[in-house]
Chain A
Amino acid sequence: KAGVTQTPRYLIKTRGQQVTLSCSPISGHRSVSWYQQTPGQGLQFLFEYFSETQRNKGNFPGRFSGRQFSNSRSEMNVSTLELGDSALYLCASSPRDTYYEQYFGPGTRLTVT
């Protein structure tokens, strides 16, 4: 099976702009989670989607949002970008019955200038 794919892999944006990141989970996986990783804060949970519904949300401002489509592909959006949003954004998918085993994509490196 193909692994989790994320596009784009690298992105440079200007403060105040918005950005959309895409994630395609492993075929058959219905749960998709998003994480933000920075040197200072480590790996932090953003939100999780299952069957097009957001089931859980981490402690991030409303500028961070996401959605999941009927084919389980997911997107996350960050509006009004701030310098502190520069990070590696990781997407992970998991099978319905094994939440503990998450498969991560390579991530999207976002740089905000």
Chain B
Amino acid sequence: LAKTTQPISMDSYEGQEVNITCSHNNIATNDYITWYQQFPSQGPRFIIQGYKTKVTNEVASLFIPADRKSSTLSLPRVSLSDTAVYYCPFYNFNKFYFGSGTKLNVKP
């Protein structure tokens, strides 16, 4: 089954910029790329979506190369509260396949 691939975990320190990369080898031509954030015992929260190039909102930036085979979620100056699991789900016919996500651990 086609899916996305991302690192299992990452460590960072407060104040640093964090970049999480996801591989989208089988993304469909018309599909958008989305990222979600999940804290323990809560539902995932939509962070950002994009189709190509760069998208920025108040939370994060999303970089998508021209071939759209990957994407990079950039979190500027992370804080302890950014410790969470980040997902780049694969989307196929109204179904999201979330996978295991990337567990980001921000240290003081």
Report whether over half of chain A's contact residues are helix, strand or loop; otherwise say mixed.
Answer: strand
Tally chain B residues at the interface, Cβ within 8 Å.
22
B91-A43 in contact (CB<8A): no
| Pairs of residues from A and B, 8 with the lowest C-beta to C-beta distance, nearest first | A104-B43, A43-B98, A42-B100, A100-B34, A100-B32, A90-B43, A45-B95, A56-B94
B99 close to A (CB within 8 Å): yes
21 A/B residue pairs, CB under 8 Å, sorted by A: A31-B94, A42-B98, A42-B100, A43-B99, A43-B101, A48-B94, A55-B94, A56-B93, A88-B41, A99-B91, A100-B31, A100-B34, A100-B49, A101-B34, A102-B36, A104-B42, A104-B43, A106-B42, A107-B41, A107-B43, A109-B41
Q: A45-B95, A102-B46 are in contact. List 7 more A-B contacts (CB 8 A).
A: A42-B98, A42-B99, A42-B101, A45-B97, A48-B94, A100-B91, A101-B49
| Chain A interface size, under 10 / 10 to 19 / 20 to 34 / 35 or more | 20 to 34
B63 close to A (CB within 8 Å): no
A105 close to B (CB within 8 Å): yes
B contacts, CB < 8 Å to A: 31-32, 34, 36, 41-46, 49, 87, 91, 93-101
A48-B91 in contact (CB<8A): no
Nearest CB in chain B to that of A33: its residue: B96
A contacts, CB < 8 Å to B: 4, 31, 33, 35, 42-45, 48, 55-56, 58, 88, 90, 92, 99-107, 109
Nearest CB in chain B to that of A107: its residue: B43
